[in-house]
Chains A and B, each alone.
Chain A
């Protein structure tokens, strides 16, 4: 595997030093995981690509047109990630790995204090 296993922590440069960070963990199917401190306000697709999380592409830049940032949210955390709007709900129908009840497009999850400790599972397309 090309991506680094174990813990990688990267601090994205805060624009405003008062801003706080949320610790986010992505777990891969092969058992590896990546944890990063993500600045509040960034979306978790950006955070994933910045931290070299595999299989999260985010080709459309987060404008809900590509469905390439699909994640499964740890059920304990799901409610805290916010509402799924109609567009995201529709786009979740076209993910490479079929959606489940805890599916989200990670570009629509915004890092915040409430998500500190969030765990995401990254589906691996065929």
Chain B
């Protein structure tokens, strides 16, 4: 009997790989191994609708739990893989069980960074948001009047702040950089979300450093800032970014550098091992990058299935992202890394606008805030390699549809 294609890590990339494999009618058996007790599920709603209590857990699942068996996909949940034995073509579980693979797909994802214990990171009441379990453990504590302190003004922190305000918590958010979203967005986007959160009553503090969290009997009760100020808190969410889960790959001697290095078909330095999603580091535009997004996970998973089915494919997808905060929808297309100027296009209403990122004359990316036209047509414009001048983009009279579709 042929060994299966083994997929380690049951997230979006795994689900996408399996879906495509099934749709293509590929005959090779699959075995999906995940650490969590759930089939692959959508993570983006965790810090949004799921935290808000507006989405039943079963609606997070990318496919219903029974779907996998119907497609003859083997499933092992609650199973941790400890090592890869490349010589024997096996993965070995933490209980010592060896499982044969023909090809191996690593979809090990990324983990939320934590605050060190020396800063109070292990106090009770301090948490990160990454999994269903993270939310289920904390949801009951998201009650009106409680004080939530958020460390980090990235998307997770901002989305959680929005949910917490909607639920009536008092929210303080600390960002050590000069502005929220500094690493990922232009000053205009940061300013929009700063105003949005302040208007909703978030005590948002930029250029503010945390010295340490303060605890009492092992339970967090607040934070001390570098200025000496003490902020009281019942709950502390740490949203300071993620790091790729590459330990397995590294220990197996696969080439890694901020992720598992892969080629344009997501193949690692071992041709029988692939990596897809948050954990993979790939080349784009002459640079090695790693993306933590649904789009990247889904497209890479899909691509590996096509590649293994013999299709001539390579990874060239244009990244896209989104974030929902209060009633505001942010949609992003492209990657703004390396931009050297931006232009703002006014939106159709006062609460909408889009920020277009350029490197010289080349359009790299767009942040569309309540402005789906800029997102949808902007995506077409970027895909087509059209580089409209900033003047044209900034002019509200310019019709983006015409620009994108030439009609």
Chain A residues with a Cβ under 8 A of chain B: 1-3, 10, 12-13, 15, 42, 46, 49-50, 52, 54-55, 57, 59-61, 63-67, 86-87, 90-91, 93-94
Instruction: Closest B residue to A50 by CB, please name it.
Output: B64
- Please give me the 10 A-B residue pairs with the lowest Cβ-Cβ distance, nearest first: A2-B25, A65-B322, A90-B372, A87-B372, A90-B376, A94-B376, A2-B22, A61-B42, A59-B298, A54-B23
Q: Which residues does chain B contribute within 8 Å of A90, judged by CB atoms?
A: 372-373, 375-377
Do A52 and B380 touch across chains, with their CB atoms under 8 A apart? no
Do B63 and A1 touch across chains, with their CB atoms under 8 A apart? no
Do A64 and B62 touch across chains, with their CB atoms under 8 A apart? no
Cα(A2)–Cα(B56), bound, Å: 30
Do A59 and B26 touch across chains, with their CB atoms under 8 A apart? no
State the total of A-B contacts with C-beta under 8 angstroms: 73
Point out the residue from B22, B56, B375 that lies within 8 Å of A65, measured CB to CB. Answer: B375
Do B25 and A1 touch across chains, with their CB atoms under 8 A apart? yes
Point out the residue from A1, A3, A46, A86 that lies within 8 Å of B59, measured CB to CB. Answer: A46
What is the minimal beta-carbon distance from A122 to any residue of chain B, in angstroms? 12
What is the minimal beta-carbon distance from A51 to any residue of chain B, in angstroms? 9
Do A63 and B24 touch across chains, with their CB atoms under 8 A apart? no
User: Could you list 6 A-B pairs, sorted by A, with CB under 8 Å?
Assistant: A2-B26, A49-B62, A50-B64, A57-B19, A59-B295, A65-B331
What size tier do the contact residues of chain B reach?
35 or more
Instruction: Closest B residue to A92 by CB, please name it.
Output: B376
Point out the residue from A52, A54, A63 that lies within 8 Å of B322, measured CB to CB. Answer: A63
Chain B residues with a Cβ under 8 A of chain A: 16, 19, 21-26, 42, 44-45, 56, 58-59, 62-64, 67, 70-71, 294-295, 298, 320, 322, 324, 329, 331, 372-373, 375-377, 379-380, 401, 404-405
Q: Which residues does chain A contribute within 8 Å of B44, judged by CB atoms?
A: 60-61, 63
Cα(A59)–Cα(B317), bound, Å: 14
**Chain A interface mostly helix, strand, loop or mixed?**
loop
What is the minimal beta-carbon distance from A8 to any residue of chain B, in angstroms? 9
Q: Which residues does chain B contribute within 8 Å of A64, judged by CB atoms?
A: 329, 372
State whether A13 and B58 are in contact (beta carbons under 8 Å apart), knowing that A2-B25, A54-B23 are contacts in the complex: yes
Q: Which residues does chain A contribute within 8 Å of B380, judged by CB atoms?
A: 93-94
Which residue of B24, B62, B376, B380 has the most chain A CB atoms within 10 A of its CB atom?
B376
Instruction: Closest B residue to A8 by CB, please name it.
Output: B70
Do B324 and A12 touch across chains, with their CB atoms under 8 A apart? no
Do A91 and B298 touch across chains, with their CB atoms under 8 A apart? no
Q: Which residues does chain A contribute within 8 Å of B375, judged by CB atoms?
A: 65, 90
Cα(A13)–Cα(B380), bound, Å: 39
Do B320 and A65 touch across chains, with their CB atoms under 8 A apart? yes
Q: Which residues does chain B contribute within 8 Å of A66, judged by CB atoms?
A: 295, 320
Cα(A38)–Cα(B320), bound, Å: 30
Point out the residue from A3, A59, A87 that lies within 8 Å of B294, measured CB to CB. Answer: A59
Instruction: Closest B residue to A61 by CB, please name it.
Output: B42
Q: Which residues does chain B contribute within 8 Å of A10, judged by CB atoms?
A: 64
Instruction: Closest B residue to A55 by CB, please name it.
Output: B23
Q: Which residues does chain A contribute within 8 Å of B377, judged by CB atoms?
A: 90, 93-94
What is the minimal beta-carbon distance from A61 to any residue of chain B, in angstroms? 5
State whether A61 and B45 are in contact (beta carbons under 8 Å apart), knowing that A2-B26, A94-B379 are contacts in the complex: yes
Do B322 and A60 touch across chains, with their CB atoms under 8 A apart? yes
Q: Which residues does chain B contribute within 8 Å of A15, judged by CB atoms?
A: 56
Cα(A50)–Cα(B58), bound, Å: 11
